[in-house]
Structure 1
Amino acid sequence: SLRTTCAGDPVTYFVRAARIRREIEAIALAPARHPSVQGIQNIFRENARRLWHWTEDPRVPAENNAAERAIRPLAIARKVSHGSQSARGRETRSVLMSILHTLDACCTDPEERLAKALDHYAQDRNANMFARLFGGLPLYVPTQ
């Protein structure tokens, strides 16, 4: 990987990352006839501001393998259980898994934090659940 081959040499990393970015951007902007290729190109065109953080910071991975691995158990569970049978069930599962994975990434005991937040909610239905769940945690909030 780029990070591995350029470890300890930030100048080389940034030069190579910039070259890779230019090559990808050229492909994304090149004319294409096939609708599937055009669709992929549009992903790069429409999301450009979100795609290139890895070229500016070697600590940011250029791929989403960690995210893919993190959701694999959920995908398998959904498959073997035949998924949620309703739109509301799918949305509930999606929200719960997002909360649990975020807590798992940001705090040492996600189950305890979730349990305390739910206990607090049982006592006060007007409680700010976001603040209860994530207050004081180092969360990344993208800027526009």
Structure 2
Amino acid sequence: MRHDQRDFLGGLLMAFVGFAAAWYAYEHYELGTPNDMGPGFFPFGLGILLGVLGLLIALPAMLRPGEQLRVMWGALARVVGAIVLFALLLKTAGLVLACMAAVILASTADRSIGWRVRLLTAVVIAALSWLVFIVGLGMVLPVWPWSA
């Protein structure tokens, strides 16, 4: 009998990220006390919470049957490639075009999505990114290639 590999590995990944974040906050920031919280208190607490939740997902998954995990390498490469593409394009092409290019590339991982939906999603994500990061948070990022 195989255990539920999807939940097991997902839970372990959550636990690793959570405990790593808590450790980083503990090592690099002042935690303070509940009455006088330091800058590391909140990330430390959230990291511990995420780590515990990850374990609560992973441990029961060892006891339940599941299918063998099948990695779709092509889809994984497209999604990771979209992140790299965004990072490479952000400073030269600007936020809007970098978002659109990344969304279009990542969406090719799902062959059931049509080009009209891909383009519409890319425009909406780019607009939301502009609203959140430029308008809402006031971040100084190039928006277009000519503003870089």
Q: TM-score range by the shorter chain?
A: 0.3 to 0.5
Q: TM-score, normalised by structure 1?
A: 0.33
Higher RCO by CA contacts (8 Å cutoff, separation 6 or greater):
2
Report the TM-score, using the length of structure 2 for normalisation.
Answer: 0.33
